[in-house]
Chain A
Amino acid sequence: MPKHQLYPETWVDKYSDYLFNFTISRVNNSEIAKDLISETFLAGLKSKDNFKGEASERTWLISILKRKIIDHYRKINSNKGKAEVRITYKDDESEGDWLEERVSDPFGKTAEDKIENEELGQAIFSCLDSLNEKQATIFKMKTIDGFDTEAICNEYNITASNLWVIIHRARKAMAECLEKNWL
């Protein structure tokens, strides 16, 4: 009996936000990210017989997604990338003689922060995994999406004090979990 099993019907609720953040930091476009995630789920479904149950569902989906992201870059590089090179360097003389290139790369400085933030994001998601589903969903709605208390209460048919109890438990668990894994 393999350790892990696949439950495709739960994928969207459980993993789509996690995969989305993973993708968005790599492709920088939310539409493309959504397409890639959709492709990932479908590819996962197609090859679910190949799943040996050694890795967790999430790890397995990420490995598919990584390949999809690489494919995506291959595709755009084959057309657009070549044209760009030609535009930058029109003739040999001006090659490498651009003021912009002598200025230090402003993005270089933030690269480390970006990596750190991504690791933090992953830590947050694995902590969210340890909450029960209702807590996790409501916590995400309230904290990340910034929904009004009232809107969430209506949607889940709970009172405001119910909501705050859920939020309190979620925050407490999240803080403890992150303290262990990150802070």
Chain B
Amino acid sequence: MKCENANHVCDKSQYKESSFLERVKLTIHLIYCSACRKYTARNKKLSNALKTSDLKTISKEDKNGLKERLHQEMTK
């Protein structure tokens, strides 16, 4: 497995979209590749940070509503 591919699998794993075989290959790759180990560690940290911060977003419809309201006021 090449590093590029390993990082891709690592990214996918953060969203639980990697296959079992891919994860096995990644684990093997990580044994001998310190650069990817570093990336994987960071990537996991980022995922954890995002999880604990429990961010929420406004839905697209509500955003459009806000935009419309703002637009109305601007063109008045």
**Least CB separation from B66: chain A residue:** A12
CA–CA, A143 and B57, complex, Å? 11
Across-interface contacts of B52 in A (CB, < 8 A) = 117, 120
Could you say which residues of chain B place their CB within 8 Å of the CB of A117? 52-54
Report A-chain residues with C-beta under 8 Å of the C-beta of B7. 168
A183 adjacent to chain B (CB < 8 Å): yes
CA distance A17 to B58 in the complex (A): 6
- A20 sits at the interface (CB 8 A): yes
Distance in angstroms from A156 CB to nearest chain B CB is: 13
B46 located at the interface, meaning its Cβ lies under 8 Å from any Cβ of chain A in the complex: yes
With A41-B70, A45-B73 as contacts: A120 and B49 at CB distance below 8 Å: yes
A16 touches B63 (CB 8 A): yes
Instruction: State whether B58 touches A34 (Cβ < 8 A).
Output: yes
Residue of A nearest to B8 (CB): A164
Cβ distance A49 to chain B, nearest Cβ, rounded Å: 14
Cβ-defined partner of A45 (8 Å) among B54, B57, B70: B70
A101 at the interface (CB under 8 A from B): no
- Do B53 and A120 have beta carbons less than 8 Å apart? yes
Interface stretch (choices A74-82, A104-112, A174-182): A174-182
Within the complex, what minimum Cβ distance (angstroms) separates A64 from chain B? 14
Interface pair B57/A171, CB less than 8 Å apart = no
User: CA A16 – CA B60 in complex, angstroms?
Assistant: 11
- Nearest-neighbour CB distance to chain A for B10, whole angstroms, equals 9
Contact A20 B56 (CB under 8 A): yes
C-alpha spacing A90/B50, complex, angstroms: 46
Complex Cα–Cα for A80 and B15 (A):
44
Q: Are A11 and B70 in contact (CB under 8 A)?
A: yes
Q: Which residues of B contact A178 (CB under 8 A)?
A: 45-46, 49
- Residues of chain A whose beta carbon lies under 8 Å from any beta carbon of chain B: 8-9, 11-13, 16-17, 20-21, 24, 30, 34, 37-38, 41-42, 45-46, 117, 120-121, 124-125, 140, 142-145, 149, 164, 167-168, 171-172, 174-176, 178-179, 182-183
Residues of B near any A CB (own CB < 8 A): 7-8, 11-12, 14-15, 17, 39, 42-43, 45-46, 49-50, 52-58, 62-63, 66-67, 69-71, 73-74
